[in-house]
Chain A
Amino acid sequence: MAKKNFILVCGGTGCESTRADEIYRTLIKEAELQGVKDDVQVVKTGCFGFCEKGPIVKVLPQESFYVEVKPQDSAEIISEQVIKGREVVRLLYRKDEKAASNIKLEDIQFYQKQFRIVLRNCGIINPENIEEYIAREGYTGLEKALFKMKPDDVIEELKKSGLRGRGGAGFPTWMKWDLTRKQPDPVKYVVCNADEGDPGAYMNRSTIEGDPHSVIEAMAICGKIIDARQGYVYIRAEYPLAIDRLKIAIDQARDMGLLGKDILGSGYDFDIEIRLGAGAFVCGEETALLQSLEGKRGMPVPKPPFPAIQGLWKKPTVINNVETFANVSAIMAKGAEWFAKVGTEKSKGTKTFALTGKINNSGLVEVPMGTTLREIIFDIGGGIKNGKKFKGVQTGGPSGGIITERSLDEPITYESLAALGSMMGSGGMIVMDEDDCVVDIAKFYMAFCVDESCGKCAPCRIGTKQMYDILNKISKGTALEEDLDKLEKIGKAMTKASLCLLGGSAANPTLSTLKHFREEYLEHIRDHKCKSGKCKELVVYEIEPAKCIGCGLCARRCPVPCIVGEKKQPHVIDKAKCIKCGECFKVCKFGAVIKR
C-alpha cells in the first residue's frame, strides 16, 4: 500500500536534535489522533544543511519545505497537509531577499545554497555511459561550435559569460583562447590541467570520475576554436579511478565519432591523449606541466613567453583547469547569459570546494561566487564538529592563507580572497577549530613546500627551508621574538623573488597566521606554551596527586615506561624520560593526568 505522504524531520547534528526529536514524536502522535496513521510515514533524516533555520520538516511528494518548526505545529501539518492536502503556508521557507548569493533564475526557486554547474551530472549519470551524458544536453555545445557558431561567436560567448580560470589565478578564459587562436602557427595544442596537487583538494578528481565528458567536450570545442588537432589531459597517477573513467569516456567518444577524424561529419579532426603525472605539486604549475608533458623534468620556466604563444613543444597552447573546461561545456549548452546570472559582477558562475577538516558535513560543494564562508561552513557544512569553536579556514592550500571569524561574512570572489591574504586556489577548504595550533599548521604547509620546491631558484629553495627551521624552533620553544620579524622578511623576499608561484605564495600560510594570531606565536616563544597541545615539545604531562587513586592503568599503558608509584598511591611521571605520547592522559579515568 502506497502512503499518501511522507514527513521528513531533519535529525542532523546541526539542528537542535532534541527539538527535532520532539517534533518527530508529536507528528506520529497527531497522525494517530487524527486517524491517518496509515496514510503517512514520519521519518527522521540526515542533515538538510540549512541548520540556521532548523528544525526543518519536509513533506513528500509535495516537497513542502518547512523551517523553524515547533512541536505545536504538528497538529496543523497533519490536519492541513495530510488530510486536506494543503500546505501550511506560514511555515514554508521564504527566500531571504537580502542574501547576496540568491540565484534569480526563473525556473529554480529553492532554499539550497548550492548550485551545480560543474557538478551538474555528478551523482546523476553513469559516467561510464556516454549516452547518459548525451541525453542531458551533452555535446550540444560541440554541435554549436562545429556547425552553428563561428570561432568569433564562441569567443564572444565566453567573454559574455565572464568565465575565469578555476585553476587558481582567475585569468579570463576567453582571452587565453583568443590569444592562442590568433597565433599564426599551424600546430597548436589543448591541455587540461588535472594535476590537483593541493593537499585536501579533490574537486577535479570527482568531476572527472563523475562526468568525464564535460571535460572532453570542452577540450574539443577549444580545439575547434583555436584550430588544434590534439589535446592532452595531464592527470596524476594517484587518481586511478578518474583515469579509468576518462579512458572509457575517450574511447566511447571516439567510437561514436565525437573525437577522432571528421567529427560528426564536419571535417574537423581532434583527439585526446592521457598523460600521467607522478604527483609533484610543482607540475601543476603550467610551465612545469608542459615541460613534464614533453618528457623533461617538471620545472617551471620563466614567463613570458606565455603558453598561449609558446607552449607545448614551443607551439601555441591553451592550458586550462578541469573545472574551467567543465564550465565551458555548460556555457556552450545553456548560453552565456544564463551563466552570467550566477555569481558576482567580476566573478561569474560557481566554484567547487572540497570542504574538510573539523566540519560536520565534509564533502564536495559547489556554490555561486559571492556566497559567504559562513554559509559554506555553517549552513552547508553543518558547523564545527563536536560543537567546538571555529578558529579559521585555510583556502588555497599551501599557497593560501587562513581566514578568521572576522571575515566569515565576506562574499567569496577572486578579489576578496586575495585581499584577505589568501587565494581562491583550486578549492581546498580546510576548517580548523580551537584545538588546532596555527604554528603547527604553518609548519605543516611550509614542510610541504620544502618538499615540493623544485629547487630551481634560490629564494624558494633556501627561503622555504629557512622559514621551516624558524617555525620548527618556535614549535619547540627555542625561538626568539625577533625570529618573527625574520619570518616576515624572508617571506616577503620569497614572495617577490621566486620564479614561480610555488615559492611566490609559499609564505602565505605563515604570514597570514602571523597576522591574525601573533599572540599565539608569542605564547610559544615567550611562555613556551602551546594551548592546543599540538606542539608536542611544549607539552608537559603531570599527575595531580590529589586526584590520582593509584590504579596503575597509566603506568601499564606508558610505552616508555616512565610512570612509577605504589599501588593505591599517587603515581609520578618521570618528565625527563616522557616522550609525550599522551597515552596516560587518554586512559586515566579520574582526570588525574594533566596536560600543560
Chain B
Amino acid sequence: MARMTLDELRALRESKRQDLARRDVEGKNIQIIVGMGTCGIAAGAKQTFDAIAESLQKHGLEDKVVIRQTGCMGLCYVEPTVEVVAPDMPTVIYGKMTHDMAESLVVKHLVEHSLLDNHILDRPAADIVKK
C-alpha cells in the first residue's frame, strides 16, 4: 500500500468500516475468529486454527468461511477462545476450544445450526467503538 493522504485515509476507513459492519469478508459470510495472544497460543490456539481449517475442508465449507486471528480477549482460564459469526446464528464466543473440539464446533455450529454445550462465554465488556 502506498503512503496515503488524509483523504485517502478517510476513504479507506469508511470502506473498511462498512466491510466490518456487513460482516462479510472476501465474499464469505461466516467468520471464525481465533484468539492468538501468547496465552491462547500457549494453550494450543495454532493447532485449533489448523484443525478448524481441516474440518471446514472436510465439510466443503472452506468457500463460505474465513478463519481470522485476533489478540487476547482476556479469558485466560478458558483459552483457546474462538468466536463464530454466522448468519441466522447468534454470535458466540467459545472457550476451551482445543484442537480436538474443532470438528464438533464445525459440525454443531455450522452444519447443524446449534450451539455447543458447556463452552459458551460472554464477551467480557461491551464494545465502545461506534460501528
List residues of A whose CB falls within 8 A of some B CB: 1-3, 6, 8, 11, 41, 43-49, 58, 60-61, 108, 110, 112, 114-117, 119-128, 131-132, 134-140, 143, 146-147, 202, 205-206, 209-211, 239, 241-242, 252, 255-258, 260, 262, 264-266, 330, 334, 360-366, 380
The 0/1 profile, CB within 8 Å of A marked 1, for residues 1-12 of chain B is: 111111001101
Q: In the complex, are the beta carbons of B126 and A123 less than 8 A apart?
A: no
Which residue in B2, B5, B71, B116 is a CB contact (below 8 Å) of A122? B71
Question: Which of B16-24, B48-56, B57-65, B99-107 has 4 or more CB atoms under 8 Å from chain A?
Answer: B16-24
Which residue in B4, B9, B10, B74 is a CB contact (below 8 Å) of A364? B74
Q: In the complex, are the beta carbons of B113 and A3 less than 8 A apart?
A: yes
Q: A361: nearest residue on chain B (CB-CB)?
A: B77
Chain A CB within 10 A, most for which of B4, B88, B123? B4
Q: In the complex, are the beta carbons of B127 and A124 less than 8 A apart?
A: yes
- Assembled-state Cα–Cα distance A255/B1 (Å): 6
- Assembled-state Cα–Cα distance A196/B94 (Å): 30
Q: In the complex, are the beta carbons of B9 and A123 less than 8 A apart?
A: no
Q: In the complex, are the beta carbons of A209 and B113 less than 8 A apart?
A: no
A209 with B72, Cβ < 8 A, contacts A45-B118, A60-B90, A264-B6 known: yes
Q: Can you identify 19 A-B contacts, CB atoms within 8 angstroms?
A: A6-B115, A43-B120, A48-B122, A112-B126, A114-B124, A115-B128, A121-B71, A123-B123, A124-B127, A126-B68, A135-B17, A139-B9, A143-B9, A146-B6, A209-B71, A241-B41, A362-B76, A364-B74, A366-B125
**B44 at interface (Cβ–Cβ under 8 A)?**
no
Nearest-neighbour CB distance to chain B for A487, whole angstroms, equals: 35
Further pairs besides A143-B6, A202-B39, A210-B71: 4, Cβ < 8 Å: A3-B113, A3-B114, A115-B128, A143-B10
- Assembled-state Cα–Cα distance A68/B87 (Å): 31
- Assembled-state Cα–Cα distance A273/B73 (Å): 27
Q: In the complex, are the beta carbons of B3 and A256 less than 8 A apart?
A: yes
Nearest-neighbour CB distance to chain B for A584, whole angstroms, equals: 32
**B28 at interface (Cβ–Cβ under 8 A)?**
no
A2 with B4, Cβ < 8 A, contacts A8-B120, A46-B78 known: no
Residues on B with beta carbons closer than 8 Å to the beta carbon of A108? 126, 128
Q: In the complex, are the beta carbons of A264 and B4 less than 8 A apart?
A: yes
Q: In the complex, are the beta carbons of B128 and A120 less than 8 A apart?
A: yes
A257 with B3, Cβ < 8 A, contacts A45-B118, A46-B118, A211-B71 known: yes
Please count the residue pairs between chain A and chain B whose beta carbons lie under 8 angstroms apart in the complex: 184
Residues on B with beta carbons closer than 8 Å to the beta carbon of A124? 70, 127
Which residue in B74, B77, B124, B125 is a CB contact (below 8 Å) of A206? B74
Interface size class of B (residues with CB under 8 A): 35 or more
Residues on B with beta carbons closer than 8 Å to the beta carbon of A136? 17, 20, 129
A49 with B124, Cβ < 8 A, contacts A143-B9, A362-B76, A364-B72 known: yes
- Assembled-state Cα–Cα distance A43/B1 (Å): 45
Q: In the complex, are the beta carbons of A365 and B74 less than 8 A apart?
A: yes
**B117 at interface (Cβ–Cβ under 8 A)?**
yes
Nearest-neighbour CB distance to chain B for A351, whole angstroms, equals: 13
Q: In the complex, are the beta carbons of B117 and A44 less than 8 A apart?
A: yes
- Assembled-state Cα–Cα distance A8/B91 (Å): 13
Residues on B with beta carbons closer than 8 Å to the beta carbon of A116? 124-128
Q: In the complex, are the beta carbons of A117 and B90 less than 8 A apart?
A: no
Q: A2: nearest residue on chain B (CB-CB)?
A: B88
Q: In the complex, are the beta carbons of B6 and A45 less than 8 A apart?
A: no
Which residue in B4, B92, B96, B123 is a CB contact (below 8 Å) of A256? B4
Q: A58: nearest residue on chain B (CB-CB)?
A: B122
**B47 at interface (Cβ–Cβ under 8 A)?**
no
Q: In the complex, are the beta carbons of B118 and A11 less than 8 A apart?
A: yes
Q: In the complex, are the beta carbons of B5 and A45 less than 8 A apart?
A: no
Q: A142: nearest residue on chain B (CB-CB)?
A: B9
**B29 at interface (Cβ–Cβ under 8 A)?**
no
Q: B13: nearest residue on chain A (CB-CB)?
A: A134
Nearest-neighbour CB distance to chain A for B85, whole angstroms, equals: 11
- Assembled-state Cα–Cα distance A71/B54 (Å): 41
Nearest-neighbour CB distance to chain A for B124, whole angstroms, equals: 5
A365 with B115, Cβ < 8 A, contacts A46-B78, A134-B12 known: no
- Assembled-state Cα–Cα distance A265/B8 (Å): 11
- Assembled-state Cα–Cα distance A114/B121 (Å): 14
Q: B71: nearest residue on chain A (CB-CB)?
A: A210
Q: In the complex, are the beta carbons of B13 and A210 less than 8 A apart?
A: no
Q: In the complex, are the beta carbons of B71 and A46 less than 8 A apart?
A: no
Q: In the complex, are the beta carbons of B69 and A128 less than 8 A apart?
A: yes
A43 with B69, Cβ < 8 A, contacts A116-B125, A136-B129, A363-B76 known: no
